[in-house]
């Protein structure tokens, strides 16, 4: 049974996953404008948020007050999680997401992220603390479990739902897999059977075909696209249109792609400031140009450039007449 996503403010069942160093405010704003049903902030450490650690709140310019945006918090102390959630909700956050899925060692060594799947009681206390602290919907993002011998996502999801969680997202790998092997969408079906709230399938979803297959195997209500959207902020919107049987927006090419890239570039420079913005933008511009046939030489020059005016001129001049075929990820 597919359930309603309106409680979390999603306008379609195709979401943009939180990705550290990627899904900052400029990227999320673009993906949302181009049709992503929900966008999720980069993971924010709850204690750092509360203590206003330099750079954290700036990094986590969270789109507070924006419909279709979730703020993702990480931590292991209920008091810090609750207070960080209060701060975000008080500043306009529409949805608070709790991270039980990050596999990075620097996170799990601090007993946060997917390490919490080894301690379901603590995970539940975090959920209870956050749900009790805010009036906005609270969601969780998990993996299947810590390893193949402890696939406890259904248990954690059921307990979280009983504590008031409004949605569960599951990456179809264990923590010990990191990003190796293939995501097991069929294993997410056990989570779907365990709860009545919406379930979102995540992992290896790159296009409409993989989205359909993930939803069919998992029974999920929505999908979440992560790495496939790098350099393609339009992809979630395209997949959403395909799933709904609506006309699919074309992937930008030539002058349209140049215009989109420069809009994103300007947003990054404004958000981070010139010096940091130039550095942060390189990976995004590189991912865009990886999708342009014959643009390898342009990519090298753009990524190496330090003068924003030179970057703008190269992109505007050299992409204007460049063919840009619809990426494989958008194909039905």
- Residue 85: which residues within 8 A CB-CB, separation 6 or more? 46, 73, 96, 129, 130, 133, 134, 138
Both tokens of 298, joined, read: 């342009």
Residue corresponding to tokens 């696209």: 225
In the chain, which residue ranges form alpha helices assigned H by DSSP?
25-33, 46-50, 56-59, 78-90, 105-108, 120-133, 153-162, 189-194, 208-218, 235-244, 254-272, 274-290, 296-304, 308-319
Residue 222, Cβ density class (10 Å: 0-12 exposed, 13-18 middle, ≥19 buried): buried
Residue corresponding to tokens 């009545």: 196
Both tokens of 38, joined, read: 């929900």
- Give CA–CA dist 33/301, Å, rounded: 29
Report yes or no: 223 and 207 within 8 Å, Cβ to Cβ: no
Both tokens of 225, joined, read: 């696209």
- Is-catalytic flag, 322? no
Active-site pick, 11, 102, 176, 322: 102
CA-to-CA dists, residue 311 to 1, 183, 266, 299, angstroms:
49, 37, 11, 10
Report yes or no: 41 and 69 within 8 Å, Cβ to Cβ: yes
> Catalytic site residues?
102
């Amino acid at each position: 049974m597919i359930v309603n996503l309106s409680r979390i403010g999603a306008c379609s069942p195709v979401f943009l996953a939180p990705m550290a160093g990627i899904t900052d405010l400029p990227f999320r704003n673009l993906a949302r404008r181009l049709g992503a049903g929900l966008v999720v902030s980069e993971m924010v450490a709850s204690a750092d948020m509360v203590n206003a650690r330099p750079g954290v709140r700036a990094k986590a310019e969270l789109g507070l007050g924006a419909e279709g945006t979730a703020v993702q918090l990480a931590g292991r102390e209920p008091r810090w999680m609750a207070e960080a959630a209060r701060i975000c909700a008080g500043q306009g956050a529409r949805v608070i997401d709790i991270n039980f899925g990050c596999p990075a060692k620097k996170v799990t060594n601090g007993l946060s992220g997917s390490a919490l799947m080894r301690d379901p009681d603590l995970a539940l206390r975090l959920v209870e603390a956050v749900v009790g602290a805010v009036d906005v919907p609270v969601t969780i993002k998990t993996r299947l479990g810590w390893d193949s011998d402890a696939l406890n996502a259904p248990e954690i999801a059921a307990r979280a739902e009983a504590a008031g969680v409004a949605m569960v997202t599951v990456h179809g790998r264990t923590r010990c897999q990191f990003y190796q092997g293939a995501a097991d969408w069929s294993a997410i079906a056990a989570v779907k059977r365990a709860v009545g709230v919406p379930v979102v399938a995540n992992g290896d979803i790159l296009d409409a075909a993989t989205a359909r297959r993930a939803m069919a195997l998992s029974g999920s209500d929505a999908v979440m696209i992560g790495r496939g959207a790098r350099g393609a902020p339009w992809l979630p919107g395209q997949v959403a249109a395909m799933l709904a049987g609506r006309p699919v927006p074309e992937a930008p090419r030539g002058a349209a792609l140049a215009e989109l890239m420069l809009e994103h570039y300007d947003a990054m420079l404004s958000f981070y400031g010139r010096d940091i913005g130039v550095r942060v933008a390189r990976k995004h511009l590189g991912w865009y140009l990886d999708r342009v046939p014959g643009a390898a030489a342009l990519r090298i020059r753009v990524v190496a450039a330090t003068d924003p005016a030179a970057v703008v001129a190269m992109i505007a001049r050299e992409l204007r007449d460049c063919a840009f075929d619809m990426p494989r990820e958008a194909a039905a």
